[in-house]
Structure 1
Amino acid sequence: MATPSNIEIAQAARMRPIDEVAAGLGIPDDALVPYGRYKAKISLPFLARLGHRPRGRLVLVTAVSPTPAGEGKTTTTVGLGDALTRLGERAMICLREPALGPVFGMKGGAAGGGYAQVVPMEDINLHFTGDFAAIGVATNLLAAMIDNHIHHGNALGIDVRRVTWRRVLDVNDRALRDTVTGLGGPGNGYPRESGFDIVVASEVMAIFCLATSLADLKQRLGRIVVARTRERRPVTAADLEAHGAMAAILRDALAPNLVQTLENTPALVHGGPFANIAHGCNSVLATDAALHLAEYVVTEAGFGADLGAEKFVDIVGRASGLHADAAVIVATVRALKYHGGVALADLPVEDVAALERGMANLERHIRTVRDVYGLPCVVAINRRADDTDAEVSALLAAVGRSGVAAVEARHFAEGGAGAEDLAREVIRLCGDGPASAPVYTYDDDATLWEKMRAIATRVYGAADITASTAVRAQLRRLQDEGYGRYPVCVAKTQYSFSTDPRLRGAPTGHVVDIREVRLAAGAEFVVMVCGEIMTMPGLPERPAAASIDVTDDGRISGLF
């Protein structure tokens, strides 16, 4: 009998009405804004009243450096949440919302997999509650108001060569990366070079996920620097009087979305910045709410521990006071063989030697999480059906030599029951005492250059960092303007510790070149663009959209 697909499993789920899920958390009906029977938003006024409740334990799920073979962080996050529930703990999970670009491009779905999924899977993957549409509209409204201000006289003295704000779209469209706007004569504005980013790469998305309230959201939106004058003075969204309308557009979206897993564990799915471009974590509002509603909260940071986990620690932790009590590092036999030099097509063939070579990647992530971020951690071996006993035994032994525990997890095939051993180890790591003090990769008072160097040398294993004369001058200017107090958000390839995606394993001695610097004053971080990184991805030769369909009676297929 063929194994059911992800969407077939999800469509067979026995979901509880969302008001019952909410009631189990102590959320009253008047705090819910239902979107059908199985999803709802939790009102912001209710969230504001949660502060008196004690906080639960926060578990951060991260992984080895991503490979085409897949690692399964989202699946592990869901499976661990279900396992904690099975063990009698009051658990919740917090995830990012899937972006339509990857859903229609490479992934075809991003709500977990197998028997560890959040549901309703189709809704979550396709539009959901409209949050990303609101973020796109808010971003594009600001772009329109910039061009309109210049068209009607430019009272702020904006230098049209120094407009940095770009429009966004939630579809991968390489043709829109670089554009010229304002063609067609004076009535259509003024011609200038611009372009589009994907919604999840926008500063509004980053602000949305870092905001702690509607008031904080509006203040952050007002601080967005969209351009500079000829005198290099920053021009903000507040200068254009755009931030109020932007906040109005985002008002309803800011409320976190409540759904459930296949096993009815409550889940908040909210926000979705990419971790190779932005900070890669779900919203602060959702995570903070979950910590006041549950004893254990499992959240995921995007890509490997060098990207999403670093940004959770150094950006999200600093901005919000959220700090993990323990971390789970997801690894697979296939991923480690890939890092050991095996071609994608050959990964099903047993190769213990290649796995042991690829262990260098996992070992560096372990050292980073444990020694740089100061988090107790466990390695979750996301077991696949084609993993051999010899390979798994070698992986368990290698992790043991690193001084941390490794646990086999079979949640993809078995749901929460397959992750109970992992859940027990997580409970042990979290302990009963107070959480330890947060540890950061760099000090607050370090310069932007020093912060970037600390990440490159301490986390990426690099020998040093470099930058052109122009980039160095820009960094000095940002430092002088007072932005040096901000944390650094590195935009680089997710596939390697270096800026070259072809360098697998754990390269050392490389030099990280800062190609471009972008100020995100509303999000309160400075983006360091390193290597070739796209803020508007393209579609593959055969995009996942080609497999997605809907029947005459409305049943969706092809999400996988």
Structure 2
Amino acid sequence: MKSDVEISQEAKMAPITTITDQLGINYDDLEQYGKYKTKVNFTPSDAHQDGKLILVTSINPTAAGEGKTTVTIGLGDAFTELHKNVVLALREPSLGPVMGMKGGATGGGYAQVVPMEDINLHFTGDFDALTEAHNTLAALIDNHIQHGNQLNIDPRQIVWKRVLDVNDRELRQVVIGLGGRTSGVPRQDGFDITVASELMAILCLATSLQDLKHRISKILIGYTYDRKPVYVSDLHVEGALTLLLKDAIKPNLVQTLEHTPAFIHGGPFANIAHGCNSILATKAALTYGDYAITEAGFGSDLGAEKFMDIVTPRLNKTPDCVVVVATVRALKLNGGADKKTLNVENLDALKKGVINLKRHVDGMQQYGKPVIVAINKFASDSMEELTYLSNYVQNDLKVTGEIINSWAEGGKGAVDLAQKVIAACNNSDKFHELYDHENSSVLEKMTAIVTRIYGGSTVELSRKAKNELKRIEKMGYGNLPVCMAKTQYSFTDNAKELGAPENFTIHVSDLQLKLGAGFIVALTGKILTMPGLPSHPAALDMDIDENGRITGLF
């Protein structure tokens, strides 16, 4: 079969104005980036957001990815096949995984969003704008200290790092300000990846340009020598930073290979951030479509939990149905199979690994909404493996399940799944919150996530985390939701603990207060906010010829 990029290059895309006309978007609200992608000036109105919301998540992935985005896009195209008015809302790819290990993030095979190359490589410049805005704030902080430090900022207590949208382990810890008096004050600093920036979270949670500006003004940048907090509003630069993001806040609209409309906007990672596309893009999908399909990053223990507990209160809408993507190969890995033999039939490993799927389904059922399992078929899956997994979903988990083959068949490969999702969306089950946002303590919120979603037993805070928790509660921010930063490969904070471990402890090394985003990040285990590149980065296989034709992107 052809590669993803070859399939994308052969696609016959419709002009983006054809897609916007289909949705009824006014031409004056478009800011086009060529023929096939546009930003949309969208002002949300909850009164017109009547669409059904479908959330796609997954089991714990393997290092190669298991096709959650492919399923999401294929499901959208299946709705189109059924002549339903559907709009997708997805995240933008980061150059970190594109150039690193995972490759692109635009789906795969015949279930892709296009133009695939553009979306994976800079797209409309949103991430570049975020990177520049973030680093502008870092420069303004150091400049303030250089020119008298009227706010009395303690350089040792600055919590605002710099960012770069590429995996670069060398920049995790750096020393800046060397070179004498004219080069600033020497201090320890570091870089995060752009998708871990609080500005990324803010962009994805803001509901308007003014809300974006207000949230930016609340960002905690550090503390004074007498340990008082310092905010962006104290520097009076929220206007300048918002100006740099005035275009980035507008949702981007593209299409799938089958011309299904797709908003692609924002891209926080779920293992180190909240893992969901922007509220504005999701609201736009709900406004223009009878059905809006969105996804949450990595497994349900990360992105989906954060969608439920962080995003839905701001979205003013809860999912009507949750789709959990599972693959035979990932479950075999969770059952003890060697990652080099996942393409070989192994029923014993599959039977052991299905407990991972059960834990994810159980976790999503905590919220009270219908849960459906999508079994994403790979060419290497045997009929015996697929049959066993289908029967397990129906007979043991007692939930609706369906095999999907959109990678090879596009929308047609997901029609049966789409029909079951449509039926589930008519269920009016009440949404249940995982924890009391206002009255539960920070530790109680973390414990609820660990026990009810991960299947663990306790939360253990390091001395540093305990001290930070005391400071957070003393400042009056204990009512904020918690964003757990954890490995995506395991329910635990140890990436090697696969399957569905029980009675384990989650170790919180630090807590970070993100006041602009409106949550507290809990760093667990050995999670890193600046990833590194693998021994064989995907970049080594990429090229472009004299005609501009790209190869090896994915």
> Into which bin does the TM-score normalised by the smaller protein fall?
over 0.9
Q: Within 5 Å, give how 1:413-492 maps onto structure 2.
A: 413-431=408-426, 435-444=428-437, 445-492=439-486
2:505 matches 1:511:
yes
Contact 1:356 1:398 in 2 (8 A): no
**Residue aligning to 1:541:** 535
Give the superposition deviation at 1:108. Answer: 2.2
Of residues 33, 43, 48 in structure 2, which corresponds to 1:35? Answer: 33
Q: Within 5 Å, give how 1:324-473 maps onto structure 2.
A: 324-370=319-365, 372-400=366-394, 401-431=396-426, 435-444=428-437, 445-473=439-467
The SS at the match of 1:462 is: coil
AA of the residue aligned to 1:37 = K
Between the aligned residues of both structures, percent identity stands at 53
Give the superposition deviation at 1:377. Answer: 1.0
AA of the residue aligned to 1:60 = L
Contact 1:118 1:262 in 2 (8 A): yes
CA distance in 2, matches of 1:469, 1:272: 32
AA of the residue aligned to 2:7 = I
AA of the residue aligned to 2:552 = G
Give the superposition deviation at 1:436. Answer: 4.1
Q: Within 5 Å, give how 1:50-69 maps onto structure 2.
A: 50-69=45-64
2:297 matches 1:302:
yes
CA distance in 1, matches of 2:27, 2:200: 29
**Residue aligning to 2:215:** 220
- Tell me which moved more, 227-236 or 484-493: 227-236
Give the superposition deviation at 1:385. Answer: 1.3
- Tell me which moved more, 391-400 or 200-209: 391-400
The SS at the match of 1:505 is: coil
**Residue aligning to 1:14:** 12
Give the superposition deviation at 1:51. Answer: 4.3
AA of the residue aligned to 1:247 = T
Give the superposition deviation at 1:398. Answer: 1.1
AA of the residue aligned to 1:81 = G
**Residue aligning to 1:551:** 545
CA distance in 2, matches of 1:558, 1:52: 45
Q: Within 5 Å, give how 1:246-257 maps onto structure 2.
A: 246-257=241-252
Give the superposition deviation at 1:54. Answer: 4.3
Of residues 110, 116, 119 in structure 2, which corresponds to 1:121? Answer: 116
Length, aligned pairs only: 552
TM-score normalized by structure 2? Answer: 0.98
**Residue aligning to 2:493:** 499
Of residues 482, 496, 514 in structure 2, which corresponds to 1:520? Answer: 514
CA distance in 2, matches of 1:158, 1:417: 59
Q: Within 5 Å, give how 1:91-110 maps onto structure 2.
A: 91-110=86-105
CA distance in 2, matches of 1:539, 1:250: 28
Give the superposition deviation at 1:347. Answer: 1.3
- Give unmatched runs, 5+ long, in structure 1: none
2:233 matches 1:238:
yes
Distance 1:470-1:385 versus aligned 2 partners, 3 A rule: closer
CA distance in 2, matches of 1:507, 1:17: 50
> Could you say what the CA RMSD is over the residues aligned between the two structures, in angstroms?
1.0
Give the superposition deviation at 1:84. Answer: 0.5
Contact 1:151 1:189 in 2 (8 A): yes
- Runs of 4+ aligned residues of structure 1 deviating over 3 Å after TM superposition are none
2:282 matches 1:287:
yes
CA distance in 2, matches of 1:525, 1:63: 24
Give the superposition deviation at 1:557. Answer: 1.3
Of residues 129, 134, 137 in structure 1, which corresponds to 2:132? Answer: 137
AA of the residue aligned to 1:6 = D
CA distance in 2, matches of 1:439, 1:72: 28
Contact 2:87 2:292 in 1 (8 A): yes
CA distance in 2, matches of 1:544, 1:443: 43
Contact 2:65 2:102 in 1 (8 A): no
- Tell me which moved more, 227-236 or 517-526: 227-236
Give the superposition deviation at 1:55. Answer: 1.4
C-alpha deviations, 1:321-349, integer Å up to 9, x for none? 23111011000110110000000111122
Give the superposition deviation at 1:232. Answer: 1.6
Contact 2:78 2:415 in 1 (8 A): yes
Give the superposition deviation at 1:416. Answer: 0.1
C-alpha deviations, 1:377-427, integer Å up to 9, x for none? 110010111111110111011111111011010100000000000000000
AA of the residue aligned to 2:283 = D
CA distance in 2, matches of 1:379, 1:344: 23
CA distance in 2, matches of 1:473, 1:199: 27
**Residue aligning to 2:79:** 84
**Residue aligning to 2:23:** 25
Contact 1:68 1:344 in 2 (8 A): no
CA distance in 1, matches of 2:75, 2:382: 23
Q: Within 5 Å, give how 1:252-291 maps onto structure 2.
A: 252-291=247-286
- Tell me which moved more, 381-390 or 419-428: 381-390
C-alpha deviations, 1:165-220, integer Å up to 9, x for none? 00100111111110000000010000000011110010000000000000000000
CA distance in 1, matches of 2:163, 2:63: 27
Contact 1:69 1:344 in 2 (8 A): no
CA distance in 2, matches of 1:52, 1:511: 44
